Structure 1
């Protein structure tokens, strides 16, 4: 229980630090361009303490759920003093305002990359895409009546060794089976299981494609019985005697490239989760009223922290760190959506003004005035309401019917 509580608190602290650094990203970018930053606070609610350094007040508030960076004149409608007016944010070039607005999300991306790099250089990165890279080649394949016999075969003279005899090596990546490209190990095993006898296989080895022929052997294996999931049955399956890598290991130097590749995969995953977000909300509502909680439904900070606590309790530190990195990438991508009051919405308005004024200039007309944010207030309120409702739903689901690791 203590490990679970420690994991929950540690994950929640990680989220708070991420959000605080998000706002610090805005602040540092604004200061770099000479904009006036009035305040930088971590948390909300009553003030715990603050101090002033230069022209900026720094402080901490009691509720450690977020923070804020107060930049003078973020829009032309914001009130500024005569002394602040020359350095109001809205007076700066479009690209500079864009950099400041995007700096928060960029900070999340950098944090996510740092977490992944630390993992790659120490414990390795999980094979989340199921790349069919061979980790080990067995000395034999044999019939197995139990999972233990399958995992630890006792080889006898004369036993078949398809992968070893066919020339497969640890580190090879299977790129095709019987002429069909394979992108993950599920596709490889699906192609092999019904086969018996010689099978053409291509592998990528040291940057080159190497053709091989593997003599597939049909062996007995215990599998879950679809008709009775609590029981196993013995079936005949094609086997070649390899295990696929579940974790990729790196040197401190190669960890940079490994973390970069993994970061790209997580960007794709974050975008896919965003696209799926609306259609998964009904499942959250169903879970609140007693339905089975789909592990793919959205989670709140509460749910993520609970999963983080369970990961620490189970000693699954790689999962804990992947969750923390994933959250940073998701929040970073989400915050760039062109919707107010998100930073992406402010970026969209900034570039709308720039393009509009460029088109007006082409027609010989003067630049238009700043966008009137009050006319967008209705849309903003609706989006804030929807966001609040979704947050309430996910928090409720994470309390009454949380996603669990087991």
Structure 2
């Protein structure tokens, strides 16, 4: 139980640090361009302590959930003093405002990359492409196995057929085709062999020579990956089990992490597209339905999973989840919706394109967008976001996703 609590606290702390650094990204870039940063605080609620350095007040709030960076004049509607007016954010060039607004998400991306890189050179990255070359590690027998225990027992019973070995196939041979179908991976070999029976032509690469054999494949009762017992073809051969995690040295870890990060970005985008259709499953889970592990989780749910990962010693899951959450927050925050940073970026570029088109027609710039006209849309999105947050938090309390 203590390990679980420590895991929850550590994961929650990791999220808080991530969000605090998100706001720090806004602050650092805003200051670099000369914008006036009034305050930078970690947390919300009453102030625990604060101090002033230069023109910016720094501090800590009692509720350690996020933070904020107060930049003078983020929009033209924000009140600024005469002293602040020349340095109001909305007065700066569009590209500078874009960089400041993107800096928070970029910080999440950097944090996620750093976490994955440290995993790559220490505990390893998950092997997301476990397919292996069909190079045989050993030949054995074709034996029935209808339970998990029997699957793990590799002892060949007396009289069990040895199809591959009898045909002349050896350990070290690379299977290149079965029944005339090419087999680039071991999974291809299994798929074809399990669906056939009787004399079957199999070609292998042994050294530099291609050899052709005819293997008499029997049908046996086997417990398959769907948890059911089926009669399948079996040739009596095995290959090396692909590693669950891939380890790299400091130099190899950089391209490996970039590649893995690209895969995670693609998965994150896919999850965002599927997000609305998974919300009903969250509602069902609240009222007793089985919780789908692919449904959205809140910070509460993610912290609980992080706690379980630590409790079970699954640090790979802990850090992978932390990196995934950073990528998700970073991408989500760039959606062109107010009040997200992506919404402010969209408004800034709308102004830029609008003024460019007005210039082509000989008209003056149109001035800053009136955010009051967007307040109704913003409020609707805030209410929807708040509702989804409430649903996921409730589901994560009454029917949480658990590690198996």
Give TM-score, length-normalised by structure 2: 0.87
CA distance in 1, matches of 2:324, 2:93: 33
Q: Which residue of 2 aligns with 1:236?
A: 232
Q: Alpha-carbon deviations, 1:372-402, whole Å to 9, x = none?
A: 0000000000000000000000000010111
Change (3 A) 1:34 1:221: farther
Single out whichever of 69-78 and 348-357 deviates more from structure 2: 69-78
CA distance in 2, matches of 1:308, 1:73: 39
Matched-pair contact (CA < 8 Å) for 2:134–2:174: no
Structure-to-structure mapping, 1:159-174, within 5 angstroms: 160=164, 164-167=171-174
1:49-100: CA deviations, max 9, x gaps? 0011111111000001110000111111211111111211111111111010
Distance change >3 Å, CA 87–CA 17, structure 1 → 2: same
User: Any conservation in 2 of the 1:117–1:255 contact (CA below 8 Å)?
Assistant: yes
Q: Return 294-303 or 212-221, whichever deviates more.
A: 212-221
Q: Considering only aligned residues, what root-mean-square deviation do their CA atoms show, in Å?
A: 3.0
**Aligned counterparts of 2:395 and 2:334: Cα–Cα separation in 1:** 26
Contact 1:294–1:403 (CA<8 Å) still a contact in 2? yes
> Quick check: 1:140–1:155 contact (8 Å CA) kept in 2?
no
Q: 1:234 to 1:280 in 2, by over 3 A?
A: closer
Range 365-374 or range 133-142, more displaced: 133-142
Shift of residue 123 of structure 1? 1.2
Matches within 5 A, 1:1-400: 1-128=1-128, 130-134=129-133, 137-142=136-141, 143=143, 145=145, 147-148=148-149, 150-151=151-152, 153-154=154-155, 160=164, 164-167=171-174, 189-195=190-196, 197-199=200-202, 220=220, 222-223=222-223, 233=229, 235-238=231-234, 240-242=237-239, 243-400=241-398
Deviation, structure 1 residue 305: 0.6
> Does the CA-based 8 Å contact 1:150-1:221 persist in structure 2?
no
Q: Does the CA-based 8 Å contact 1:201-1:212 persist in structure 2?
A: yes
Q: State the partner residue of 1:206.
A: none
Residue 192 of structure 1 deviates from its aligned partner by: 4.3
Distance in 1 separating the partners of 2:382 and 2:291: 26
Distance 1:214 1:51, change over 3 A: farther
Q: Which entry has the higher C-alpha Rg, 1 or 2?
A: 2
* CA–CA separation in structure 1 for the residues paired with 2:111 and 2:213: 44
User: What's the CA shift for 1:200?
Assistant: 5.9
Find the residue that maps to 2:139 and give its secondary structure: coil
Deviations for 1:336-374, whole angstroms, at most 9, x for unmatched residues? 000000000000000000000011111111111100000
Whole-Å separation in 1 of the counterparts to 2:14 and 2:65: 11
Distance 1:50 1:175 in 2: 70
Relative to 1, partners in 2 of residues 1:259 and 1:225: Cα closer, same or farther, differing over 3 Å? Answer: closer
Distance 1:97 1:155 in 2: 70
- The answer to whether the 8 A contact 1:134-1:245 is kept is no
Task: Say how many residue pairs are matched.
Answer: 388
Per-residue displacement from partner, 1:253-309 (whole Å, max 9, x unpaired)? 101111111100100111111011000111110111111111111010111111111
Shift of 1:134: 4.8
Aligned 8 A contact 1:27 1:40 in 2 = yes
Shift of 1:140: 2.0
By how many angstroms is 1:29 displaced?
0.9
Structure-2 separation of matches of 1:378 and 1:175: 63
